[in-house]
Structure 1
Amino acid sequence: MKTIDLFSGPGGLSIGLRRAGFGVEACVEFKRDAIETYAQHHPEATHYNSDIREIDFTQYQGKIDFLAGGPPCQPFSIGGLRKTSNDSRDMLPEYLRALTEIRPAAFLMENVPGLAQKRARPYFDSMLARMSGLGYKLNWAVLNSADYGVPQKRRRLFVLGSRTTQLCFPAPTHGPGTEKDHLSALEVLGPEQIGESPKSPVKYAKYPDLRPSPYAGHIYNGGGRPIDPNGPCHTILASSGGHKTHWIDVEEVAPKYHAHLKAGGEPWKGEVPGARRLSVEECSIIQTFPRDLVFAGSRSSQYTQIGDAVPPDFAFVIARSVFFQLNGGSSADLAPALEPDVSMIQGSL
């Protein structure tokens, strides 16, 4: 099934699509470094390194079966100003324009959960109405990548559309109610450091914000948090590379300090002993990119590319399910391809 990947970044979604059986014909990405990274694993695709508003997609009408992509999420992210449609970075209308001009048999759109919540919800509903008006049967869900074998807690909104059937989402393969535990980030990384950590020391926060878990809350400087040694990592951020980079608690200080604060102790001062922030390579591994993939550009650009991307393994599980359904398959056909058995369920928030 011939596919175009819009707002492709370094190609996490495309890697998953291709593994699932889709043929990625072209990608659109404004950032040059991301396109250079993408070209390493999809050199045969047409690479549009330009503003999507300058591309006429009618040239692909009748030639493309499937449209995929994740429009920039800043207008809807809870970490931003949430201006929604009033934000100049809102590219949902461009995704809708591409959908209108190409008229594929089906599509997948990825974004942050904030698009379907509170302030942005009326705008999201209006977009769904317009998609439905183009003749698509829709389904959408907020899924967590950790539930599908990715060593990272990353919640993302997915919208599926098809002209012939209402596509369903695959059931979780990891976590409560399944045969497998969530994958631990440290289990995937291994005991030895990989790559070079950013030069941003981890310090105790002056005014700690305590939460039930030692690995949550804001009790250290910046947005980077200690990684739970027995579970998935927090979401890898596009702003990593400095104080927002998650870190490995080499000396297991986090549970001790958490217990100290919970007992009413005074905040500690200075740097956290043994704290090591994740390198570009380690962030890439947690995001499930191929280990031999080299990200183009500066270190800052590399962190941004990784943090902005859809984890390839996450993309694969969803794309594999969609591919089988679009080609007349069922959950019984899909079971041998995904472990454990994956049955189709309708997703919901």
Structure 2
Amino acid sequence: MRSADLEAVEICAGAGGQALGLELAGFGHRLAVELDENACRTLEANRDRHPARAGWRIAQGDVADPEVWKPADYQGIDLLAGGVPCPPFSIAGKQLGASDERDLFAWAIEQVDVVKPRALLLENVRGLSMPRFTGYRQHVLDRLREFGYVGEWRLLHASDYGVPQLRPRFVLVALQPEHAPYFHWPQPLAGQVTVGAALEDLMGSAGWEGAADWARRADRIAPTIVGGSKKHGGADLGPTRAKRAWAELGVDGMGVADAPPPPGAEYPVGPRLTCEMVARIQGWDDAWGWEFTGRKTTRYRQIGNAFPPPVARAVGQAIAVALRQEGPARERDAGPEQDPVYRALREHGGHMTPAQIARAAGLDLDAPELERRISLLGRDFEIEIAEGKTGAAYRLGRFKAFTGQADHERHELFSRYRARIS
């Protein structure tokens, strides 16, 4: 582990997957903010057992509550990072986006203008990369540009960085213009680590004779580990489709075991994983000595909801190189337009007919397709409709997401459902 010569503030830090990865990349933490009490205990336990982390301040509570932390106190930090809640964008959920009280992505973007970090790193689920959120993503890039940053999205697969599972993550990196040319997305590693290779020693650690045969069967990467939330029951390895994939690897996905298989054990499907095994599949290396606190289900959720440390390390190293302006600079363009319909409406500012929108967006769209795109925008933005002689005209209204407004409905909903939010 290299000594930290860069500093980070991390929001929605969870149990420390991103924090550990960034530490391995050379970032020391000035502050980690996390809502979940159990995850904070894990962060505190790992801070207290490692002298190099003595300066970590860990704040427990709603990251948007100024009583928990004050973003302005950390102006000029090298990196503002976080893994803001995923349910607003999850394919498995309702994809409410800006209308979800758990959505903190837009709020985090606004903090860039307060904290003024040299770089920003936010990660979320693959769902945020879908067409449903093209307007949301364009709004994010536009706000970053207004704040003086160059932002870029990329879908990264954990299996490309030595993590033995799928786990695609949609990552946003933004840097100040003087550093942006030096940022290059990390290249995938050669080969992939299989479940069997990652877990054979743990499967055999209590003397189970079947560990080697099991490892030969488990010769692929795993499905995405699902940590779940407080809304659901105990620990298991995900929905029915995931459990079937686990069964093909010789793993019983109906729960999590307390201990590795004992000598002489026989299983209809295969053994269950322990929390230690799940941590391996999330990319944790035993050599890092990271400890998860709490009972089994609590530990499992912390591990399953984490950003795999090897992925965080790879992105963190790329950001560190850019901040030091090392390596070759690259020409950067504005990137592909995320949503030209959104851009046309935003730049015009007034009401536009469908023909005007299509012309301004440079798209050949029929009426149903244009209405579909406007309907998608309407889930995250207010759309004003005016009926005229030639039909409807549309105007882009306010962004619905919580960005720090004192009167936003997020406050009431968050207070009502706080015990279930994770």
Offset from partner CA, 1:94-128 (integer Å, 9 cap, x none): 21232221011111111112112122221122122
> Which residue does 1:275 correspond to in 2?
270
5+ residue gaps, structure 1: 175-180, 197-226, 254-271, 333-342
SS of 1:23 mapped into structure 2: strand
- Check 1:57–1:189 CA distance in 2 against 1; reply closer, same or farther (3 A cut): same
CA contact (8 A) 2:225 2:237 kept: no
Residue of structure 1 in register with 2:130 after alignment: 117
Deviations 1:223-257 (A, max 9, x none): xxxx972221111111372362854668699xxxx
Indicate how the Cα distance of structure 1 residues 149 and 53 shifts in structure 2: closer, same or farther if over 3 A, else same.
same
Which residue matches 1:241? 235
Residue 188 (structure 1) aligns with: 198
Bigger mean CA offset, 295-304 vs 307-316: 295-304
Matching residue of 1:205: none
Q: Partner of 2:140: helix, strand, or coil?
A: helix
Change (3 A) 1:65 1:187: same
Tell me, in whole angstroms, the C-alpha distance in 2 between the residues paired with 1:345 and 1:152: 32
Q: Does 1:168 align with 2:184?
A: yes
Residue 34 of structure 1 is matched in structure 2 by: 39
| Cα separation, partners in 2 of 1:139 and 1:108, compared to 1, 3 Å | same
Q: Which residue of 1 aligns with 2:404?
A: none
Within 5 Å, give how 1:173-322 maps onto structure 2: 173-174=189-190, 181-193=191-203, 229-239=218-228, 241-242=235-236, 244=238, 247=246, 273-291=268-286, 292-322=289-319
* Cα drift, residue 195 of structure 1: 9.1
- The structure with the largest helix share of the pair is 2
CA contact (8 A) 1:195 1:282 kept: no
- Once residues 191 and 250 of structure 1 are traced to their aligned partners in structure 2, the CA distance between those partners, rounded to angstroms, is 16
Counterpart check, 1:12 vs 2:9: no
Change (3 A) 1:162 1:228: farther
Secondary structure at the aligned position of 1:107 is classed as strand
**Alignment partners' CA distance in 1, 2:204 and 2:311:** 23
Instruction: Answer whether contact 1:68 1:109 (CA < 8 A) is retained.
Output: yes
The structure number with the bigger radius of gyration is 2
CA contact (8 A) 2:90 2:128 kept: yes
Deviations 1:186-233 (A, max 9, x none): 10111553799xxxxxxxxxxxxxxxxxxxxxxxxxxxxxx9722211
Three-state SS of the structure 1 residue aligned to 2:64 is: helix
**Residue 12 of structure 1: how far off its partner (Å):** 0.6
C-alpha distance in structure 1 between counterparts of 2:163 and 2:237, whole Å: 24
CA displacement at 1:93 relative to structure 2: 2.6
Q: Secondary structure at the match of 2:271?
A: strand
- In structure 1, what residue type is equivalent to 2:58? H
C-alpha separation between the residues in 2 aligned to 1:29 and 1:321?
A: 25
Q: CA deviation digits over 1:171-196, x for unaligned, max 9?
A: 1113xxxxxx2111210111553799
Contact 1:139–1:168 (CA under 8 A) maintained in structure 2:
no
Describe the superposition over 1:258-306 as per-residue Cα deviations: whole angstroms up to 9, x where unpaired.
xxxxxxxxxxxxxx81422222111011112243433122322211111
Q: How large is the Cα RMSD of the aligned pairs?
A: 3.1
Looking at structure 2, the residues matched to 233 and 318 of structure 1 have their Cα atoms a distance apart, in angstroms, of 22
Distance 1:106 1:97 in 2: 14
| Corresponding residue number in structure 1 for 2:416 | none
Alignment partner of 1:38: what SS? helix
Offset of residue 149 of structure 1: 1.4
Q: Which runs of 5+ in 2 are unaligned?
A: 1-5, 49-53, 207-215, 229-233, 253-266, 339-422
- Report deviation, 1:312: 0.7
Distance in 2 (alpha carbons) for counterparts of 1:316 and 1:293: 15
Q: What is the match of residue 256 of structure 2?
A: none
Look up the match of 1:203.
none
Which residue identity is paired with 2:224? T
Provide the rounded CA distance (Å) in 2 between the counterparts of 1:251 and 1:113: 27
TM-score by length of 1: 0.74
Is the counterpart of residue 76 in structure 1 residue 89 in structure 2?
Answer: yes
Give the direction of change, closer, same or farther, for the CA distance of 1:194–1:92 in structure 2 (3 Å limit). Answer: farther
Counterparts of residues 9-158 of structure 1 (less than 5 Å): 9-43=14-48, 44=54, 45-55=56-66, 56-62=70-76, 64-158=77-171
Q: Partners of 1:26 and 1:194 in 2: how far apart?
A: 39
Q: Percent same amino acid at aligned positions?
A: 29
Counterpart-to-counterpart distance in 1, 2:174 and 2:61: 26
Over 4 Å off, 4+ runs: 245-253, 343-349
One-letter code aligned to 2:146: G
Taking a change above 3 Å as real, the CA distance of residues 150 and 16 of structure 1, as seen in their structure-2 partners, is: same
1:258 aligns with none
Measure, in 2, the Cα distance between the counterparts of 1:34 and 1:195: 27
Q: 1:235 to 1:58 in 2, by over 3 A?
A: same
Instruction: State the 1:331 CA deviation.
Output: 6.5
Q: In the alignment, residue 145 of structure 1 is paired with which amino acid? A: A
1:345 Cα deviation from its structure 2 partner? 11
Give the 3-state SS of the residue equivalent to 1:146 in structure 2.
helix
